[in-house]
Amino acid sequence: MQMQSSLVCCGNCGAESRFPFLLHAEELEPPDLDTRPGEELRLSIGSWVARCPFCGYCAGDISSIHELAGPVVDSEGYHRQLQDSRFPDKANDFVCHALILERTGQYADAGWTMLHAAWVCDDHGRLDAADLCRQGALRAWTVGKAHGQAFHESHASEFLIVSDVHRRLGEFEHALTACNEGCEAENLPELLDHCFRLERSLISRKEKGRGSMRDLAIYRGANASPREEPQ
């Protein structure tokens, strides 16, 4: 993984700070069912969002800012979130960026940003915080769908992601419902079909941990199938 640091002028307050940037990272293993990249791209998550140390503005690129974002960054609720001790600092950066995205009507992206916050919480073993972030992701995507915003390439892949997020929350019934709805899609691509089988297997075992596509039957050999718990 190659990182480089560079000086950035904050689009909100104009102060200059130095930030690490990801130059290059290989994805050496398949992603998770919720799209989290495999190693080593996975490890670069800390560089996906930056926080201005002067005004607290959080974004992927803080050199520019949406015209409606300034008042959000200045708000009391935003600053409370920046220092919320229930979450790791980096998760707060993502959650704060999501607050801005919601305010500017970018609900699909806000949902993804909340999921990124959840991944940071996972890495820190902060499971309660991860749950709050996953609930936030589902909420933002639901609002986004009501505004006609897709958050992934097809209905079927959206159902797979929603199913996996519910499963990671321990909401196995909701996870199974989303799984079943996703499988009803016509002309389901083979890869997605295998992902749904893996998801279903994880749900049947009430597995809340990471579901990696490296466990897909098609990656493990033609005769392999996801492990099933004896009934």
- Is position 52 an interface residue for Zn ion (rule: CB under 5 A)? yes
Which residues lie below 8 Å from residue 95, measured CB to CB, with a gap of 6+? 81, 84, 87, 113, 114, 117, 133, 136
| Contacting residue, 44, 57, 112, 178, with Zn ion by CB under 5 A | 57
- Is position 13 an interface residue for Zn ion (rule: CB under 5 A)? yes
- Is position 108 an interface residue for Zn ion (rule: CB under 5 A)? no
For residues 10 and 59, which CB has a smaller minimum distance to Zn ion in the complex?
10
| Contacting residue, 54, 86, 150, 189, with Zn ion by CB under 5 A | 54
For residues 10 and 178, which CB has a smaller minimum distance to Zn ion in the complex?
10
Choose the stretch contacting Zn ion; rule: CB under 5 A; options: 50-58, 64-72, 125-133, 167-175: 50-58
Residue 110, both tokens: 């806000």
| Contacting residue, 10, 99, 130, 137, with Zn ion by CB under 5 A | 10
Report the candidate in 60, 177, 34 with the shortest Cα–Cα distance to residue 118: 34
| Smallest distance from Zn ion to CB 45, Å | 22
- Is position 69 an interface residue for Zn ion (rule: CB under 5 A)? no
- Is position 169 an interface residue for Zn ion (rule: CB under 5 A)? no
Place of tokens 């992701």: 137
| Smallest distance from Zn ion to CB 54, Å | 5
| Smallest distance from Zn ion to CB 62, Å | 7
| Smallest distance from Zn ion to CB 64, Å | 12
- Is position 78 an interface residue for Zn ion (rule: CB under 5 A)? no
- Is position 137 an interface residue for Zn ion (rule: CB under 5 A)? no
- List residues near Zn ion by CB under 5 A: 10, 12-13, 52, 54-55, 57
